[in-house]
């Protein structure tokens, strides 16, 4: 199999193979990297249904990696990545009431980000060993990406990681999962601002080409194509499990999302031929994405703190990848549209995409959904998953079963569970152990030169 190629949504980067795409992270022209071609796998679905999760992951990944990584090496990377999960099936799918819950939280940090970041950490280490290179990862997180990224690369040779998170806007346990990691290659930066501020600084750093080159910057946010790629797998996996159980030909999948990375992976799976009839996009009060899919207007609002902080985002960094397809794969239009949004904070895209339904679950709805599912079904939902379930209920479709992605273990948001139900229900030994560990972080203003200076100073001492 030849090496599949990657291009930029803005058309300013020569096609590169998977390995170069992973190391580039954000495209050098400021766009996002996407596959030049999306493989059609409909002829393989029957065989893929019979595979274990790691076996399925290899098949899906291989479609987009090809000979860039030898097959045996890729199989070993996949096996290592999912051996860290606490359940043998990696991603259990459970019938709960009228929906099916796809549990993505059985990795080391109890969040769906582990699915991609365990793989990406191992892939980074593999590629650096091949080239004897160094990598300095810079990321911004609204909660779970930071800890999953840190746990994916902690202690790995040739890698330092700098993670920015909004001070006071992630849950205490999410913060501890980052700041309690003692490895010398881990650096946590609390910023005086929102996640969007951190994401802005991240893009400014990556668009500083001299700094990116001189300091060997790499990305773990969902701007990195490998993140999206690894997440495609569980859309096939969950659709297979549910269609087998129900006898239906397809499912719809509800995805709680803020940054559009997770649901974009579902969009790619659907385009590849996964048995998915449509995707349900679920937001909290920070509803720029659900408003877009219902009205065609993508306009910036103010970030509102909610019970589902990982979704407290207005500027969705992966939206540009979807926009590329929505605008007919016209890179000139994409660049012009993104320039317009940067200037006016608002764009309008005519028409409606029937492959998506969209809605929002506010604070009251989130609490109600957590209460109902525990009292009626004995199942505990974290607040992000509760948003997805609530919006799924709003978009039920007769004859089509609904898969809801469960993105985090409820114990990561124990205060919300306690508010909705009672104390002591949401606990996990991994998280309990964090409460007595020492922590370390620095507090910085969300300015490019400030963060740039901290990175340079930290690395100068190494």
Q: Any idea which residues carry the catalytic annotation?
A: 113
Q: Which of 342, 334, 373, 346 is nearest to 291 (CA)?
A: 346
C-beta of residue 218 within 8 angstroms of C-beta of residue 82: no
Q: Which of 379, 428, 302, 350 is nearest to 102 (CA)?
A: 379
**How far is the C-alpha of 311 from the C-alpha of 142, rounded, in Å?**
7
**How far is the C-alpha of 163 from the C-alpha of 303, rounded, in Å?**
20
**How far is the C-alpha of 15 from the C-alpha of 21, rounded, in Å?**
9
On the 0-12 / 13-18 / 19+ scale of CB atoms within 10 A, 342 is exposed
Q: Which of 167, 97, 141, 199 is nearest to 408 (CA)?
A: 141
**How far is the C-alpha of 207 from the C-alpha of 355, rounded, in Å?**
33
**How far is the C-alpha of 370 from the C-alpha of 383, rounded, in Å?**
7
For the packed helices 383-394 and 363-377, what is the interaxial angle rounded to 10 degrees?
90
C-beta of residue 436 within 8 angstroms of C-beta of residue 186: no
**How far is the C-alpha of 274 from the C-alpha of 326, rounded, in Å?**
19
On the 0-12 / 13-18 / 19+ scale of CB atoms within 10 A, 302 is exposed
Q: Which of 326, 380, 397, 386 is nearest to 360 (CA)?
A: 386
**How far is the C-alpha of 314 from the C-alpha of 200, rounded, in Å?**
12
Q: Could you please report the per-residue DSSP string of 265-333?
A: HHHHHHHHT-SEEEEEEEE-S--HHHHHHHHSEEE-------S-GGG--SS-TTHHHHHHHHTTT-HHH
**How far is the C-alpha of 133 from the C-alpha of 120, rounded, in Å?**
16
């Amino acid at each position: 199999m030849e090496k599949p190629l990657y291009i930029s949504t803005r058309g300013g980067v020569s096609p590169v193979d998977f390995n170069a795409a992973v190391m580039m992270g954000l495209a050098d022209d400021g766009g996002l990297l996407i596959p030049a071609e999306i493989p059609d796998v409909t002829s393989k679905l029957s065989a893929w249904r019979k595979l274990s999760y790691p076996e399925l992951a290899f098949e899906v990944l291989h479609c987009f990696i090809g000979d860039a990584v030898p097959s045996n090496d890729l199989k070993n990377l996949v096996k290592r990545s999912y051996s860290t999960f606490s359940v043998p099936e990696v991603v259990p799918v459970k019938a709960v009431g009228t929906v099916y819950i796809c549990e993505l939280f059985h990795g080391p940090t109890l969040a769906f980000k582990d699915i991609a970041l365990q793989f990406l950490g191992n892939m980074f280490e593999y590629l650096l060993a091949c080239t004897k290179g160094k990598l300095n990862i810079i990321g911004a997180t609204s909660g779970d990406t930071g800890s999953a990224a840190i746990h994916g690369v902690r202690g790995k040779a040739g890698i330092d990681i700098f993670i920015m998170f909004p001070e006071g806007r992630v849950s205490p346990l999410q913060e501890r999962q980052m700041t309690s990691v003692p490895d010398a290659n881990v650096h946590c930066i609390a910023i005086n601002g929102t996640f969007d501020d951190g994401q802005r600084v991240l893009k400014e750093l990556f668009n500083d080409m001299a700094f990116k080159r001189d300091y060997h910057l790499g990305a773990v946010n969902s701007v990195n194509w490998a993140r999206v790629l690894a997440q495609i797998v569980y859309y096939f996996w969950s659709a297979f499990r549910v269609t087998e159980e129900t006898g239906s030909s397809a499912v719809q999948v509800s995805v709680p999302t803020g940054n559009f990375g997770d649901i974009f992976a579902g969009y790619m799976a659907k385009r590849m031929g996964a048995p998915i009839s449509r995707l349900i996009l679920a937001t909290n009060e920070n509803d720029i994405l659900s408003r877009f899919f219902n009205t065609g207007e993508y306009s910036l609002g103010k970030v509102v703190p909610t019970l589902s902080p990982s979704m407290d985002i207005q500027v969705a960094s992966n939206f540009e990848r979807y926009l590329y397809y929505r605008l007919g794969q016209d890179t000139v239009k994409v660049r012009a549209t993104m320039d317009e949004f940067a200037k006016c904070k608002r764009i309008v895209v005519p028409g409606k995409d029937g492959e998506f339904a969209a809605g929002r679950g506010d604070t009251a709805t989130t609490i109600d959904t957590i209460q109902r599912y525990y009292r009626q079904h004995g199942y505990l939902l974290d607040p992000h998953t509760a948003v997805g379930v609530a919006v799924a209920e709003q978009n039920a479709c007769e004859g089509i079963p609904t898969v809801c992605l469960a993105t985090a273990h409820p114990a990561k948001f124990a205060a919300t569970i306690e508010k909705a139900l009672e104390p002591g229900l949401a606990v996990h030994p991994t998280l309990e152990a964090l409460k007595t560990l020492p922590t370390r972080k620095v507090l910085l203003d969300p300015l490019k030169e400030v963060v740039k200076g901290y990175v340079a100073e930290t690395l100068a001492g190494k």
